[in-house]
Chain A
């Protein structure tokens, strides 16, 4: 990859164009985008430290920083390394996955109201995960849980997509059919909860609401590959999404294989949402909010929005988890309650703003 046109064309001095020689990777980065990414990273770092230091026992921020850089006294090894650090990292990754997943959906479906939970993808992941918890947990290693959730999400997404197909897929039909299919999935989850043993029920219920309680390093390392592979992959496809937002006809005219690219992007979105659900359950509305806030910050450039949505998603889940963990001590409320508490009103605001469209 080479920076061919740094500071490029006549008036577009605010852009860096990143493009390979063949042009298969191509996007512009705005100075504003760069600054926003820096600021959000800084915010994430601050939230990391806050999240590590508060909780049922307080660890001073200085001690947290020392511990992170390997100069810890050993006093906080258990609290930080075993309990809080994996949880904080997992929260951030889950948020990032959901943010990018939602961004892709909104771009592909061209509907500002789309997100993996609203069109039913996460409900499929829940079914996959709950079947795993009820039938396979104990016999099969927990590290396959994300795969179960992703397979569930993928199957359900394919069903939704096929059912929405009627000489093509319209966004509204996709959303409506997603709601219908999600109802069936919720019914399956309820059925599994009712017929399984009490102990499994309570654990599954806690997980379904979207909790990061009990996160450990194994979770972190199982989640990491999905993030590291699929978020950069999204960046590679950014060019076609920008074109696609102009509409299917224009995109086809410009030589984009519309239906194939759409399927590939939807697949990435499904994988990211599925892996997030596997570890954190139904943390809702993050996929809806993060891309919107991103667009308010930097505008519509998809390539810029990928890292921004990832960071924002991470920040939202981190904050939700901090509040959930500390607001009602000693109780550990699922973070999903807070994301829905913020997200549902936000969704209503979006409905209001788009009321005449």
Chain B
């Protein structure tokens, strides 16, 4: 596969460029908004904090939280997507397409309605559970039959499972009309109005999962060379696959618990990254994390300006960017003989 950054030195340089782009978008995300804040003030808020300045309060309370959440969730979703595309050898694999988001959301809405659960930590565990259930269901449905896990079967079973969970969720919400307005923004996916308290319980899981993933690169490369070859090289393929699956559930389920359903980041970022650095997963994973974070930060900045004075849910933004990309991949063909 042709890719831009073929030599290792170029890749390291690329990683540094991505890192600086990430820092720039992070700072922009803090500075830009309905109250636009000078860059100087932004830096002052961190280094010379002054309680009497409104801008400083905005920055330290809402803006920074929002930027951190967008960065973390963007990185998570992108890593989850790249892992899923490797695990299923399917260019269309991503948490939302697998019905994982819909599953996690249904489980949360269900437990909030029937068991009156409202603690953030419980939401997190319920989201993990829902993500796991939906992911496993879709994986097995998509694997049925002689030809195993084909892209088209996965996409269709993902669509079916999503439809099932989404309609159940809608049913619950219609019963409880009061909840619709408040929960809708969360369902549509948003990084706004979240507090650090929502991220903190999930963060350790995400960090551990992300760290493990960084060391999985070589194993994933072997796995991608084919099941038989991997076994011949002494890899315990089942173990690796289970580890990847569990990591995906923690990354994707955790993301839903914090921000609701944000689609398509997990789908498009791995494709962009593979175009950039090639199929070597030792590079794909760190690049995915950075590019995912950058993309979600930028999407979030755009979401603030499109329909002033209101804000667009970021899930809508990512769908507008990502769905055309999905169509593009589908047109190009999913496998060589398609």
Contact = CB atoms under 8 A, between A and B. Distances in A.
B330 A176 contact: yes
Contact-residue bracket for chain B? 35 or more
B180 A205 contact: yes
Contacts of B144: 351-352, 355
A341 B326 CA distance: 27
Contacts of A129: none
Contact of A193 (B157, B184, B327): B184
B185 A172 contact: no
A116 interface: no
Mostly, the A contact residues are helix
B327 A187 contact: no
B81 interface: no
B292 interface: no
Most chain B Cβ neighbours within 10 Å, of A181, A184, A356: A184
B171 A195 contact: no
Contacts of B180: 201-202, 205
Given A194-B185, A209-B170, A331-B175, A348 B327 contact: no
A189 to B, nearest CB: 9
Contact-residue bracket for chain A? 35 or more
B276 interface: no
B146 interface: yes
Contact of A184 (B161, B181, B323): B323
B320 interface: yes
Contacts of B163: 117, 284-285, 340, 343-344, 347
Contacts of B135: none
Nearest to A179: B159
A83 interface: no
A181 B168 CA distance: 23
A98 interface: no
Contact of B146 (A173, A181, A356): A356
B331 A163 contact: yes
Contact of B160 (A184, A334, A348): A348
A50 B237 CA distance: 57
Interface string A149-178: 000000000000001101000001101110
B39 interface: no
Interface of B: 92, 141, 144-147, 152-153, 155-157, 159-161, 163-164, 166-168, 170-171, 173-175, 177, 180-181, 184-185, 188, 263-264, 307, 310, 312-313, 315-316, 319-320, 322-324, 326-327, 330-331, 334, 338
